[in-house]
Amino acid sequence: MNMPSRQRMTRRDLLAMIGTAAGGSVMYQAATSLGYAAESGFKGPPGLSGAPKGTSVLILGAGVAGLVAAYELGRAGYKVQVLEYRDRPGGRAWTLRGGDEYTELGGYTQKVGFDQGHYLNPGPWRIPYHHRAVLHYCHELGVTLEPFFQVNYNAYVHSRDAFGGKPQRYRHVMADFHGHVAELLAKLGHKGGLDAEVSREDKEKLIEAMQDWGALDENYAYKASPLTSNRRGFEKDPGGGLSGEPVPSKPIDFSQLLQSGLWRAIGTGSGYEFQTALFQPVGGMDQIPRALAAQVKDKITYNAKVTEIAQDGGGVTVSHVDAQKGGAVRTDRADWCLCTIPLSILSQIPKNVSAEMDAAINAVPYEAALKIGLQFKRRFWEQDEEIYGGITYTDLPISVIGYPNSLYGSKGKGVLLGAYPWGPFAYEFAAMTPEERVRKAVEYGAKIHPQYPKEFDTGVAVAWHRVPWTLGCFGVWTEQSRAEHYQNLCQIDGRLLLAGEHASYLPAWQEGAIASSLDAITRLHQRVIAK
Amino acid sequence: MNMPSRQRMTRRDLLAMIGTAAGGSVMYQAATSLGYAAESGFKGPPGLSGAPKGTSVLILGAGVAGLVAAYELGRAGYKVQVLEYRDRPGGRAWTLRGGDEYTELGGYTQKVGFDQGHYLNPGPWRIPYHHRAVLHYCHELGVTLEPFFQVNYNAYVHSRDAFGGKPQRYRHVMADFHGHVAELLAKLGHKGGLDAEVSREDKEKLIEAMQDWGALDENYAYKASPLTSNRRGFEKDPGGGLSGEPVPSKPIDFSQLLQSGLWRAIGTGSGYEFQTALFQPVGGMDQIPRALAAQVKDKITYNAKVTEIAQDGGGVTVSHVDAQKGGAVRTDRADWCLCTIPLSILSQIPKNVSAEMDAAINAVPYEAALKIGLQFKRRFWEQDEEIYGGITYTDLPISVIGYPNSLYGSKGKGVLLGAYPWGPFAYEFAAMTPEERVRKAVEYGAKIHPQYPKEFDTGVAVAWHRVPWTLGCFGVWTEQSRAEHYQNLCQIDGRLLLAGEHASYLPAWQEGAIASSLDAITRLHQRVIAK
């Protein structure tokens, strides 16, 4: 584990606010600092021309990495077979709907009670505009996308210790943070306090920019006025006729705002992965793997639990049993094997790989993360609070409340993402029964939305450390482990090579999984045709 | 006209950047400064119980103000009739589609050549989350909404005089503006330069906040690194496997950024009316008036050009002729008249109203604005530049390029908003033939998207000063004219009262039109039942 420095602790606080809490988020932050969490280098589907006829590839796992490999290798003329542990494609690109059953490690089975049209994506839930590989396959296969709001100015930022625990509107915190900073800099500029730092010409532009960006008045003050209310919102909103005169709102005091720490939420929406435009597939994230799987459906064997991977000079033999019924061991053999099984699972499967790859497979711990979906009888966040989509950030153990980015304004029910903590908070939740997790999420959420207890209908909780087929959410790299093991993890090892988000610079993202898969099959193809 | 002060000129520059150019924008800015452009005070549909049976109201205009009045008064038991100049409902809430014909003042007729499924909203095109009245009727009448992106971090900000005329990505300008400001403040803080302004505790929090919000490194520097690239984007994006190592990007120099003036675009998305969540009706803005009109369809007379409004102690008689065929004058009479005709038109119609109301009607000039829709053969902004929805800001006369917020990633054509200037730029365009306007929009736009000339397909241009039934885009209030005339405009004048965006604190917005209408009919009802 990467120990946080004092400054990292500060950043961790931010990450707690954005729903990536505590220990895990530190690792994530470390990863982010190393640049692992940003845009894909996807330049289009791979050129795999000239594949030797009859060359076979056995793909382990029908998540997006495995599916893309099967799709592209199949199109290039390779003989492809996919073994998948579960009875459906997608892996962590998973959508839970009413009627679904899910049994976690320890034996608890949840039957999802959501109404038709509502769902929870326990895994990936958003697609940044620069995740080109994901978008490419969505566009190519006709997966319809709709916008996903990360930032909603009318949602809340919340800290137990600030403003008496009362949630604040994002727009208030953001406008006032910008405004007070602008006022301070403009004031310093006028007093000569910037003269040692910037040229006279730049100082003048800077003061002009502060006035403009910060909504400062003609005296460069940030204070209650129609001008600042046109950023942060009004006390009484403008209307029409004789009753419509507006009343400006009063900014939060700068000192109070600084001490509250709520400014930690403000940088979030500016993050490269959270900038507009962000998307989600209409109907649930599993629309992507479903569309891919439809292209290769005769090539996938479901319910196949891999029990051993044995390679020799001529190929790879994979043993597997029926994941649900057990029974006799079956084997499949191919010239090559692309393994996309999470390292958390792969590390437990007998296999003959080089010592270097084996060490790499064992070097990557998996993040704990938890998602709870809560269905409510009515969409009170829209009806009572005018929050349409987006995210509320809190330092409560639930970390976030995510509002549905679909069915806006509909009169029926709605499903919120009721919790999405990482690290310690996720472990804390995972230690409870699913029912307790849901109950706690309702209890915590009620501190932000008092409507929770009355309107709660049904919920489901997925703790990734208890998901039998991944035992964690995603592979966590540190600067050190990446330097030591990443190349060894990605190299072709005899007749075996790996792909998945764990074999990428974009951990946890589908883009990383697909990018790693395309990189792997391109290298495999080059090896094959070079023979 | 409100003369801009030096500071207003600065703000005008911003408004030019956000597509509300020059003179008109100054007035708009004046209006904004007065708080006229923000949230509605809508608290639900009006309570109009106890309407005397048989009381009649004649409504002039079937825009959203007139339609909402007809809908609510009709439900309350009033006898309602609507006269509408055009052959369709909606007024300025208008959508142009392939096959539509439109003849402007001066006689130029345009036949719209857009493909099916594509459209231009020449008037209102977005609905902020806090425009509660509009959202209320959308939700009540089943008008499906979809998100409208105002800010797109991957779209451009552009100035002819900055960066050699090369458009800059919004994310670069925003991240670097924030980052450099944060670095400067943190530096001042460490040097003691803030000690006279803030307490020691606040200074410490402020420095911490600057590091966090500005993506400063452990030495409080803003410079090329994975950390800053995770805001502004990478030089080479992270990918997967052995080819995925990212390369950070290099920030713009602070002085260059300040002198470019491109920071003017950054405050825009924070404006109360442009904050997430913003919406548009699926399929075009006219879905709202169509849904309203369907509720009162037997009450609307289309093609009725009002020629005189004559009131007496017992009621109001309105004369009108067939707007298309002319012919005999017809009259309709009712106990009351709610007139929603734009003041630009109403000022020219003979009517007997008080001197005060007459003066108010004549006191409000109308903004020039122009919208040009351009259909292209392919969605190059998505395919080549990864811009999905949102807006590019430029100081070219086109002011903005708006990308379609629908059909993301589709393989067919797409319609851009190719120009949306106000004021002088709008006059400049209005003086051309529609064909010339479209040609100029393509010429200007090519400076931002070089694909324009090759991919251009067909276009349509609506210059609001040449729209026969409004002669302008919306009523422009100044602080002075509002103080002098607004009350007089909104008062019940005998048996006549006015509604529309011009009778609101939200000029140009449908919310203002509806809010003014609800305010008017509520007062009318109180007058009626008090009798």
CA end-to-end span of chain B: 42
Chain B residue whose CA is closest to A33: B227
Q: How far apart are CA A250 and CA A225, in angstroms?
A: 8
With an 8 Å Cβ cutoff, are B270 and A178 in contact?
yes
Mean pLDDT of A29-53: 63
Residue B44's pLDDT is 83
Chain B residue whose CA is closest to A254: B202
Residues of B within 8 A of A390 (CB-CB) are: 276-277
Distance of CA A217 to the CA centre of its chain: 40
With an 8 Å Cβ cutoff, are A240 and B503 in contact?
yes
With an 8 Å Cβ cutoff, are A149 and B276 in contact?
yes
- Look up residue A486 and give its amino acid: Y
B98 exposure class (CB count in 10 Å sphere: 0-12, 13-18, 19+): middle
Coarse DSSP helix, strand, coil percentages of chain A, rounded to the nearest 5 percent: 35, 20, 40
> Across the A/B interface, how many CB contacts are shorter than 8 Å?
393
CB contact at 8 A, B501 and B519 = no
Residues of B within 8 A of A515 (CB-CB) are: 239-241, 244
Our CA-based measurement puts residue B247 at a distance from the nearest CA of chain A, in whole angstroms, of: 8
With an 8 Å Cβ cutoff, are B242 and A519 in contact?
yes
Dig out the tokens for A31 from the structure: 């990863």
Q: How far apart are CA B60 and CA B45, in angstroms?
A: 21
B474-494 residue pLDDT tens: 999 999 999 999 999 999 999
Q: Are strands A414-419 and A278-281 parallel, antiparallel or unpaired?
A: unpaired
Dig out the tokens for B291 from the structure: 């849904």
Our CA-based measurement puts residue B105 at a distance from the nearest CA of chain A, in whole angstroms, of: 30
Distance of CA B160 to the CA centre of its chain: 25
Query: Does the bond joining B334 to the residue before it have cis omega, within 30 degrees of 0?
Result: no
Chain A residue whose CA is closest to B175: A270
With an 8 Å Cβ cutoff, are B202 and A259 in contact?
yes
Q: Is the pLDDT of residue A4 over 80?
A: no
Place of tokens 């764990």: A502
Dig out the tokens for B82 from the structure: 């609507």
Q: How far apart are CA A443 and CA B303, in angstroms?
A: 59
With an 8 Å Cβ cutoff, are A193 and B188 in contact?
yes
Chain A residue whose CA is closest to B132: A386
With an 8 Å Cβ cutoff, are A149 and B240 in contact?
no
What Rg value do the Cα atoms of chain B yield, rounded? Answer: 26
Which residues, including other chains, have CB under 8 Å from residue B496's CB and lie 6 or more apart? Answer: B309, B311, B316, B336, B337, B339, B351, B353, B357
Strands (E), B260-369: 278-281, 300-301, 304-312, 315-322, 326-334, 336-339
With an 8 Å Cβ cutoff, are A276 and B390 in contact?
yes
The Cα-based distances of A436 to A8, A376, A396, A457 in angstroms read: 32, 17, 16, 15
- Helix (H) / strand (E) element for A467: namely none
Residue A29's pLDDT is 37
Place of tokens 């997790």: A437
With an 8 Å Cβ cutoff, are B38 and A233 in contact?
yes
Chain A residue whose CA is closest to B148: A147
CB contact at 8 A, A273 and A128 = yes
- If you ran DSSP here, which 8-state letter would residue B53 be given? T
Residue A41's pLDDT is 66
- Other residues' Cβ atoms within 10 Å of the Cβ of residue B450: 12
Question: Which of B229, B242, B478, B514 is the mutation pick for testing A, counting most A CBs within 10 A?
Answer: B242
CB contact at 8 A, A150 and A127 = no
The order of strands in the sheet holding B300-301 is B300-301, B79-83, B56-60, B336-339, B496-498
With an 8 Å Cβ cutoff, are A515 and B244 in contact?
yes
With an 8 Å Cβ cutoff, are A233 and B39 in contact?
yes
Dig out the tokens for A230 from the structure: 């046109």
> What are the CB-based long-range contacts (under 8 Å, 24+) for A109-115?
A110/A434, A110/A460, A110/A461, A112/A458, A112/A460, A113/A375, A113/A457, A113/A458, A113/A460, A114/A373, A114/A375, A114/A415, A114/A458, A114/A460, A115/A375, A115/A412, A115/A413
Q: Is the pLDDT of residue A398 over 80?
A: yes
Our CA-based measurement puts residue B152 at a distance from the nearest CA of chain A, in whole angstroms, of: 5
Q: How far apart are CA A496 and CA A360, in angstroms?
A: 14
Question: Which of A177, A195, A237 is the mutation pick for testing B, counting most B CBs within 10 A?
Answer: A237
Q: How far apart are CA B285 and CA B406, in angstroms?
A: 13
With an 8 Å Cβ cutoff, are B130 and A215 in contact?
no
Q: Is the pLDDT of residue A26 over 90?
A: no
Residue A43's pLDDT is 78
- Look up residue B497 and give its amino acid: L
Among B211, B441, B172, which Cα is nearest to A9's? B211
Our CA-based measurement puts residue A15 at a distance from the nearest CA of chain B, in whole angstroms, of: 10
With an 8 Å Cβ cutoff, are A135 and B517 in contact?
no
Our CA-based measurement puts residue A324 at a distance from the nearest CA of chain B, in whole angstroms, of: 32
Q: What are the structural domains, with CATH classification, of chain A?
A: 56-83+287-364+476-530 (3.50.50.60), 96-155+276-285+367-466 (3.90.660.10), 168-260 (1.20.1440.240)
With an 8 Å Cβ cutoff, are A240 and B215 in contact?
no
- If you ran DSSP here, which 8-state letter would residue B261 be given? -
With an 8 Å Cβ cutoff, are A36 and B201 in contact?
no
Mean pLDDT by 10 residues, chain B (531 residues): 32 37 34 39 85 95 98 97 98 98 97 98 98 96 97 97 97 98 98 96 98 97 97 96 96 98 88 96 98 98 98 97 96 98 98 98 97 98 97 97 97 97 95 98 98 98 97 96 98 98 98 98 96 73
Among B210, B155, B217, which Cα is nearest to B390's? B155
Coarse DSSP helix, strand, coil percentages of chain B, rounded to the nearest 5 percent: 40, 20, 40
* Crossing angle between the packed helical segments B6-17 and A200-213, to the nearest 10 degrees: 70
Residue B45's pLDDT is 86
Among B85, B109, B81, B84, which Cα is nearest to B323's? B85
Q: What is the DSSP string of B445-478?
A: HTTT-TTHHHHEEEEEEEEGGG-TTTSSSSB---
Q: Are strands B119-120 and B101-103 parallel, antiparallel or unpaired?
A: unpaired
A409-446 residue pLDDT tens: 999 999 999 999 999 999 999 999 999 999 999 999 99
Chain A residue whose CA is closest to B238: A40
- Helix (H) / strand (E) element for B258: namely helix B254-260
What are φ and ψ of residue B463, in 5° steps?
-100, 115
A112-159 residue pLDDT tens: 999 999 999 999 999 999 999 999 999 999 999 999 999 999 999 999
The Cα-based distances of A175 to A156, A255, A274 in angstroms read: 13, 15, 19
The Cα-based distances of A329 to A121, A305, A309, A320, A321 in angstroms read: 33, 10, 13, 6, 5
Our CA-based measurement puts residue B519 at a distance from the nearest CA of chain A, in whole angstroms, of: 5
Residues of B within 8 A of A266 (CB-CB) are: 213
CB contact at 8 A, A409 and A7 = no
Nearest to A152 among B226, B230, B277 (CB): B277
Residue A22's pLDDT is 28
What are φ and ψ of residue B179, in 5° steps?
-65, -45
> What are the CB-based long-range contacts (under 8 Å, 24+) for A140-144?
A141/A288, A141/A291, A141/A292, A141/A294, A141/A295, A142/A291, A143/A281, A143/A287, A143/A288, A143/A291, A144/A281, A144/A282, A144/A283, A144/A287
Our CA-based measurement puts residue A430 at a distance from the nearest CA of chain B, in whole angstroms, of: 30
CB contact at 8 A, B147 and A277 = no
Q: How far apart are CA B343 and CA B474, in angstroms?
A: 9
Which residues, including other chains, have CB under 8 Å from residue B264's CB and lie 6 or more apart? Answer: A209, A212, B13, B14, B17
With an 8 Å Cβ cutoff, are B130 and A154 in contact?
yes
Residue B39's pLDDT is 44
Residues of B within 8 A of A205 (CB-CB) are: 258-259, 261
Dig out the tokens for A412 from the structure: 């029926």
Nearest to A504 among B145, B239, B248 (CB): B239
Among B308, B365, B366, which Cα is nearest to B337's? B308
A335-365 residue pLDDT tens: 999 999 999 999 999 999 999 999 999 999 9
The region, left, alpha or beta by phi > 0 then psi within -120 to 50, assigned to residue B354 is beta
- Helix (H) / strand (E) element for B246: namely none
- If you ran DSSP here, which 8-state letter would residue B341 be given? -
Which residues, including other chains, have CB under 8 Å from residue B483's CB and lie 6 or more apart? Answer: none
With an 8 Å Cβ cutoff, are A243 and B201 in contact?
no
